[in-house]
Structure formats: C-alpha cells, structure tokens
Amino acid sequence: MTGAVDTASIVELLTALVRLPSRGGIDTCAPVLECAEAWLVAHAVGTRRLLSADGEPLALYAEIRGAAPGPHYVLDATLDTASFGDESTWRYPPLSAQVVDGWLHGRGSADSKAAVAIFAHLAAAFARRTDTFAGTLGVLFDLDEHTGRFGGARAFFDGTNASRPDGVFIGYPGIDRIVVGARGFMRAKLVVRGIAAHSGASSTRGLNAAIRGAQLAAALNDTSLPVDHAFGRPAQLTVTGIRAGDGTFTRVPDRCELDIDCRLTPDFDAARAQRVIEDIVREQDALYDASLATSIEWMPGWPAYRVTDSHPLASALYRAAHDELGVELPRVVAGPSNIGNYLASLGIPALCGFGVQCAGIHAADERIELASIEPVYRTYERALLTLLAAAN
C-alpha cells in the first residue's frame, strides 16, 4: 500500500480546516464537520455523524473494513479547537493558515487539524485497498473535545453496545516522542468558614475566612507528594482558585472557597490523594471550633494510565517510527490528562501523542512544520499495516 504521500493534498485539506473557526463552546462546528465530511465522501469513504440528544453533531466517524475479519483500530483527532486568546499577540491571524518558512500558522493547526487531514488521507488510502488488510480501521473526528466534555468520544464509546476497539491512536502533535500514557486527575472544592464582622470594628474582629483559606492553601501547596519513578511522572497538587468576600470592603468574610487540582499516578491514586487532602484539612481545622469545619466536595476525575511497551499498539508505532525516522523515540507519559485517560477507564488502550512538529498549542502563533507531515503519515501507515496485516 505504501507509495508516494500526497503532501500537497494533506496541506490543502489542513488549510481549509484551519480557515474554518471551530472553537469549542464558541463557534458552531457544522462548517468544519461538513468540510471533513465532504472530503471523505469525495474520496469514497462513507461517513456517519454522531449526534447529541437534541440533534447537534458531536463527531464524524468513518469505518473501512478489510477483506477478512481481524482487529479493530481507531484513529482519533479533534476538529474543535482552543479559543484564540488575545488576537493582537498573533503574528498572523488565527484563521489565516499562513505559510511562512515552512510552517503553517493557525489555531488548531497542531491541535489537531493536521492529524485530521493526515488521518482522512490514511482512511482514503485504506479504502482503496481493502483487499490488502484484515480487520477494521475507524476514523473518529471529535467536535466537542476542547469544551472538556469529550462529547464525540463519549457518543462513540459509551453505552453497553458501544464499540470497543482493540486500540486507539490519538493524533496529538509532537514528533520527538511517543506518548503511551498520562497522569490522571481528581478535583475538589473546599469551603473554609469564618465569622463575619465589620472590618472597622475594634471590639469584635470576627474570624477572617480569607486568612484561614490562605493558610490552608499554603499548607496544601507545601505538601510533598511521592515520586513514582516507574511511571515517569510525579504526583502534583495545585491550588487553582481562591475566592473570598463579596466585594464589600467593610465586611470580614465568613466564607472562602478553594479549588484543588491533583494529578495522579498509579501509586498515588484518587483514594490516596483524598486521604492526603483530608489530613491537611483536619490539621488546619483543629485550630478552630468544630462548628467551623471545612467542607469538601469531591469531583469525578480519571485514573492515571500507561500502555505497556509490549502492547501491539505501542510496539507497532515504536517500530514504525524507528523504521521511518531512523531513531528510537522515547516512550513517555504526559503530564496533562487527555482523552486517553477516559478510554483507559473503559479498558481501551490508547496512545495519546505522536504527530507533526508544532509550536504554540493553546497559545498565540500555533503552527506546524509542513516537512513533518510526510514522516508522520508514513509512520502511522506502517503501524496500521502491521496491526491489520492479512493472514498469508
């Protein structure tokens, strides 16, 4: 199946996608969906839309079946993007798809419209040669990823009768490593209580919840968490928000809210993180009357995960990258959580990072290096041919 890579066609589709605004939760995603859909249909790849309960499109899915039964692998990428931020900080407009010195600029070029363009071309190539492979190749383009809802992926993978592929390649960018896992996360909202009073009073000063909250935040921030050397990333606890008062200068606040984000590893899981946070809160609360105890609202998260190096998904991509690039790429774990954690919670192995060379993800001047498109395409093609090899 391997042959010349039509890089010009990939860039043409990428350019069209970047020029269509598709910011998660801001823009309507119908135009960018229709662009990808029309391209696939024009290249003889049948598609179906995944819809929300009220009929809004959440994702686009295409499926190509080989000549014989076999495994099922999915290529996944997101069509929606982060917001633009301050457009005055961009050298080129976010929707320009401007090419300068071999780099294509624009929001979503790296995360992850380049992957969409590459995966669409892989789908078309496999659709032309169904007699050369066994099993099923699926291509899933999510329209609801950057909102944090992962609506497209959930529409495809959730449910008792939903598809359970043998593995998923997520097209997040970065050509210098293969991301085989990610830290998980858990989150909490803490409410620290105080006693209100007039800020000008001398005899009754109350108990300032803002100060209590700041002291608790400092204690949480100073906590040492264990390092999981086998996993490759440490656990991490961050106070991401602190709010007190109602904007009235004359009132001692009696309530302070803290937002906590904790990044998990296999050794430092949600249960252990919960115990650590509860112990710190208990130590701080012991200094005050029991009626002023801090309340904790735990929020659902995802566990950490790592696909083993010996798994067919990881070994096929590793060997393909070695053969194509001539280097041994490190297999690493990502700090941020991603859709791979969600898939791992369903028992579906996923690699969450190998793609084009990029810069500026979620920042000004997001861009991708056009020269990296061909080796990324060929690497995925090699890996898929290995995984979907027809029996002799």
Report domain extents, the chain: 7-182+304-387, 184-302
How much is the pLDDT for 318?
A: 98
How much is the pLDDT for 1?
A: 60
Q: Taking the model in full, what pTM does it have?
A: 0.89
How much is the pLDDT for 202?
A: 85
How much is the pLDDT for 162?
A: 75
Paired tokens of 204 = 């009754």
How much is the pLDDT for 369?
A: 98
Pairing of strands 178-182, 331-334: parallel
CATH of 7-182+304-387, one of 3.40.30.10, 3.30.360.10, 3.40.50.2000, 3.40.630.10: 3.40.630.10
pLDDT in tens, the chain (392 residues): 667 899 999 999 999 999 999 999 999 999 999 999 999 999 999 999 999 888 899 999 999 999 999 999 999 999 999 999 999 999 999 999 999 999 999 999 999 999 999 999 999 999 999 999 999 999 999 999 998 888 999 999 986 677 789 999 999 999 999 999 999 999 999 999 999 999 998 888 899 999 999 999 999 999 999 888 889 899 999 999 999 998 889 999 999 999 999 999 999 999 999 999 999 999 999 999 999 999 999 998 999 999 999 999 999 999 999 999 999 999 999 998 899 999 998 999 999 999 999 999 999 999 999 999 999 999 999 999 999 996 54
How much is the pLDDT for 109?
A: 98
CATH of 184-302, one of 3.30.70.360, 3.20.20.70, 3.40.980.10, 3.40.50.300: 3.30.70.360
